[in-house]
Chains A and B, each alone.
Chain A
Amino acid sequence: MPTAAARVVLVTGVSRFLGARVANALQADPGIERVIGVDTVPPTTPLGRTEFVRVDIRTPSIAKVIASAGVDTVVHLSLVTAQSVPRSKVKELNVIGTMQLLAACQRSPDMRKLVVRSSAAVYGASPMDPAVFTEQDEPVEAPSHGYAKDAVEVEGYVRGLQRRRSDLTVTVLRFVNFLGPGVDSPLTRYLRMPVVPTVLGFDPRLQFVHEDDGIEVLRRMTVEDHPGTYNVAGDGVLLLSQALRRAGRPFVPLPAQSLSVLGDLGRRFAGQTGFSPELLRLLMYGRVVDTSRLVAELSWRPKHSTEAAFAEFLSAHGMGHPGPLGLLDRLGAALTRR
């Protein structure tokens, strides 16, 4: 192939926040002839020159879309992490959808590149984890629940495709939690609770990636060739207690069991998202990934550190420090001025 640039790009999950943003970034690239967005529901925001095709990737009709449009690059973003949808349906969407999509990719002679959005949740979270995960590390305790398990299975199927179609450029991106003004995820809902319950006796290390950085990584991976698996995270680490102090949110440490009961009650009666087992484990043991491989490959660093991404999330939601601190400041100033 003379040119490495993608010409016809298919983006899955385009009606959701991340898919819409990535489609917008890609259509701004003059080197890309067509951007095709697929999803099961119509998009809520205008997509510009992106062509929307309403198709369920769990059905073989996705293969027809890929074949008829001559798609050469697939950006697979429709990993569902939310808990609002019943678990069985989420699994269906994540795993069966990926299988169908990959089957279609394997068939298509035009296919050149596959970019898959995965999650750092594939590393699990346990007290026996190394402090920092690199891409080669296996999880100490493999995730056994929820979207983390789905992501592990998705990556397995992607490896299978890679074996059968060694001519494809396959990029797997393991993102830590997205954060920013536009992100709505179980973690952002958790952080925005008026009083935040934490797990008694645990203070996890968290990492965030700003939405703009995540989209920039996805764009570069699509228009350039960077085969391999990469962790994506903002530099630095925040402890949960530190993050909640920065947010000015009061927090109540509760034993782990009562926290999951509380989450269950919240889900049933107050329409909240509850605490999924993988979120609960993250809130106990935390997780940190090493991004040096990504930085070396792209010669680029995320513009927002974990701290900066969190600060932007706070200002977007009008969260910050409460009043009593002003008293401390005045007292300190009075003492040093005298």
Chain B
Amino acid sequence: MNAQHDQDRRRVPRGADTAPDADQGANAAVAPWQAQDRADDDRGARVIRLDTARQSAGGADPDGERQEGPGPLERRIAAGLAFLRRRLTGEYEVDEFGFDPELNAAVLLPLARAMYRHWFRVELCGLEHVPRQGPALVVANHSGTLPVDGLMLTVAIHDHVGRDLRLLGADLIYQVPLLGHLSRKAGHTLACPADAARLLDKGELVGVFPEGFKGVGKPFAERYRLQRFGRGGFVETALRTGVPIIPCAIVGAEEIYPKIADLRPLARLLGLPYFPITPTWPLLGPAGLVPLPSKWMIQFGEPMRLEEHGPDAADDPMTVFNITDHVRENVQQMVYDTLLRRGPAFF
């Protein structure tokens, strides 16, 4: 019965306050779809009726017995109306960063999830390395001309770890209308030491792409070669707050918009870091914005603990440089390994 409970819980859409789940940790290495399917297969015949009536909204009632209560469709519509009502009356909570968990789980993530499942067919590895609770800093490689990799990483962690990844974004994002406040509502914030330390102090899982624009805007010819890892600010923050660094390799994002040229004068005119030319953009107009359907793999590595250095090491630039290089080499090696395992880019 206990196992049944755990499986049920996995099906419930996650809110902000998902309890960390030990059982999930054990199952985490299984590919996500298999875990879902297995949960369905294991379902005992005797308890199926009650569960489907309550959980799988929209599914037909198998026996047609429960006529006295409202049916699943009605419940679903009522839940939708309640959601709509909360949104229209502003009766929801946001945190001090502007994170709106309800909007994120109900509107923003489902949009990205469709792409995650059906377009990029993301496969995950090493999920057991991502802590189910407590602060940690996920450090990943950045690529793809547009930062779609951040979006996919957020979906992966939300759906398979049950936590909200709080990304640190470039200041350009917060200058652009719409993008800035959507990014805050999705839980992300500006990449600055104060915000990173504040999130980690609150026990959040924080994600960072230390390569920044150099990584995301590198030409296709340099794919999967990591750029400089910024100035090591993320290592200083990790040292000061004493949190582990989780290295992460994202493979597949390099092929979504292969940047074959860069119109520098136009980029300067528009105030952008680069203006990419891809095989389809701007040749096909808006259709060029559709990413190529590459096959993605995301690999999490073993947590790198920095306790041995102590918080004072953050003021020692040599230690910071060394750790930064070490993390970078680690991620680069993981990228090469995962690239080999993935094989061809589009199948």
Q: Which A residues are closer than 8 A to B by beta carbons? A: 127-132, 134, 137, 199-205, 236-239, 241-246, 248, 285-286, 288, 321, 325, 328-329, 331-332, 335-338
| Extra A-B contacts (11), CB below 8 Å, given A200-B177, A245-B89, A337-B70 | A127-B171, A131-B98, A131-B190, A137-B194, A205-B184, A239-B94, A241-B90, A242-B92, A246-B89, A328-B88, A332-B81
**Cβ A237 vs Cβ B94 within 8 A:** yes
Q: Of the 9-residue stretches B71-79, B114-122, B227-235, which lies at the interface with chain A?
A: B71-79
Interface status of B82 (Cβ within 8 A of chain A): yes
Q: Are B96 and A132 in contact (CB under 8 A)?
A: yes
A241 to B103, CA, bound (A): 13
Of all chain B residues, which has the CB nearest A307?
B93
| B94:A335 contact, CB within 8 angstroms | no
Give the distance in Å from the alpha carbon of A244 to the alpha carbon of B100 in the complex.
Answer: 16
Known A245-B88, A328-B84; contact A130-B194, beta-carbon cutoff 8 A:
yes
In-complex Cβ contact of A328 among B85, B178, B184 (8 A): B85
15 A-B pairs within 8 Å (CB atoms) are namely A127-B180, A127-B190, A128-B190, A130-B190, A237-B95, A239-B181, A242-B92, A245-B88, A246-B91, A285-B174, A288-B96, A321-B89, A328-B81, A328-B88, A338-B70
Q: Is B97 an interface residue (CB 8 A)?
A: yes
Chain A residues lying within 8 Å of B69, measured Cβ to Cβ, are: 338
A288 to B94, CA, bound (A): 12
Is A246 within 8 A of B94, CB to CB?
Answer: no
Contact, CB under 8 Å: B181 / A332: no
Inter-chain residue pair count (beta carbon < 8 A)? 106
B contacts with A, residue count (CB < 8 A): 40
B11 on the A face (CB < 8 A): no
Q: Is the CB of B189 within 8 A of A131?
A: yes
Would A203 and B81 count as touching, CB distance under 8 A?
no
Contacts of A286 in B (CB 8 A): 98
> Would you give the shortest CB distance from B201 to chain A, in whole angstroms?
11
A158 shortest CB reach to chain B, Å: 25
B195 on interface, CB distance cutoff 8 Å: yes
Query: Does the CB pair B194–A336 fall under 8 Å?
Result: no
Q: Is B30 an interface residue (CB 8 A)?
A: no
Contact among A129, A200, A321, A338 with B190 in the assembled complex (CB-CB below 8 Å): A129
List of A residues within 8 angstroms of B174 by Cβ: 127-128, 285
Q: Are A131 and B97 in touch, CB under 8 angstroms?
A: yes
- Which residues of B come within 8 Å of A, CB atoms? 69-71, 74-75, 77-78, 81-82, 84-85, 87-98, 100, 171, 174-178, 180-181, 184-185, 189-190, 192, 194-195, 198
CB pair B98 A205 closer than 8 Å: yes
Residues of B contacting A244 in the complex (Cβ-Cβ under 8 angstroms) = 90
A335 touches B198 (CB 8 A): no
Given that A130-B195, A131-B190, A335-B78 are contacting pairs, would A205 and B175 also be in contact in the complex, using a CB cutoff of 8 Å? no
Instruction: Check A338–B177 contact: CB distance below 8 A.
Output: no
Within the assembled complex, what's the spacing in Å between the Cα atoms of A241 and B192?
Answer: 26
Nearest opposing residue in chain B for A245, CB measure: B90
Q: Shortest Cβ distance from B117 into chain A, in angstroms?
A: 29
A246–B92 Cα gap in the complex (Å)?
10
Task: Collect the chain A residues with CB atoms within 8 Å of residue B89's CB.
Answer: 245-246, 248, 321, 325
Contact A131-B85, Cβ < 8 Å, known A202-B181, A205-B98, A335-B70 = no
The listed residue with most B CB atoms (<10 A of its CB), out of A137, A236, A244, A245, is: A245
- The answer for the CA separation of A245 and B91 in the assembled complex, in Å, is 9
On whether A202 and B177 interact (CB within 8 A), knowing A130-B195, A131-B195, A131-B198, the answer reads yes
A248 and B192 CA atoms in complex are apart in Å by 36
Q: Are A335 and B77 CB-contacts (below 8 A) given A131-B189, A203-B181?
A: yes
CA distance A238 to B90 in the complex (A): 9
Bound-complex Cα distance A204 to B94 (A): 12
A332 touches B97 (CB 8 A): no
Q: Specify which of B89, B91, B94, B185 lies most central, judged by the most chain A CB atoms within 10 Å of its CB.
A: B89
Q: Would you give the shortest CB distance from A293 to chain B, in whole angstroms?
A: 14
CB distance from A333 to the nearest CB of B (A): 8
- Closest beta carbon of chain B to A11's beta carbon, Å: 33
Residues of B within 8 A of A239 (CB): 94, 98, 100, 181
B205 CB to nearest A CB, Å: 16
Most buried by B among A241, A246, A336: A336
Say yes or no: B190 contacts A205, CB within 8 Å. no
Question: Which chain A residue has the least Cβ–Cβ distance from B76?
Answer: A335
Q: Is the CB of B94 within 8 A of A201?
A: no
Q: How distant is B223 from chain A, measured CB to nearest CB, in Å?
A: 31
Q: Identify A242's interface contact among B74, B85, B94, B177, CB under 8 A.
A: B94
Nearest B residue (CB) for A247: B90
Q: Which of B71, B92, B96, B178 contacts A201 (CB 8 A)?
A: B178
In the complex, how many angstroms separate the beta carbon of A75 from the nearest chain B beta carbon?
30
Assess whether A132 is in contact with B198, with CB atoms less than 8 Å apart. yes
- The 8 Å CB contact of B75, one of A205, A321, A336, is A336
A254 CB to nearest chain B CB (Å): 12
Cβ-closest chain A residue relative to B98: A205
B167 to chain A, nearest CB (A): 13
Task: Knowing A132-B198, A203-B181, say if A237 contacts B190 (CB, 8 Å).
Answer: no
**In whole angstroms, what is the CA distance A69 to B325 when docked?**
67
Report how far A57 CA is from B97 CA in the complex, Å: 40
A205 and B94 contacting across the interface, CB-CB below 8 Å: yes
Give CA–CA (A237, B74) in the complex, Å. 34
Contacts of A325 in B (CB 8 A): 85, 88-89
Nearest CB of chain B from residue A243's CB, rounded to whole Å: 7
A205 to B194, CA, bound (A): 18
From the candidates B176, B181, B192, name the one contacting A130 in the complex (CB within 8 A): B192
Report B207 CB to chain A, min CB distance, Å.
Answer: 16
Assembled-state Cα–Cα distance A331/B77 (Å):
9
Docked-complex contact B81 and A128, CB < 8 angstroms: no
CB-CB under 8 A from A242, the residues of chain B are 90, 92, 94
A127 adjacent to B194 (CB under 8 Å): no
Verify A237–B178 contact, CB threshold 8 A.
Answer: no
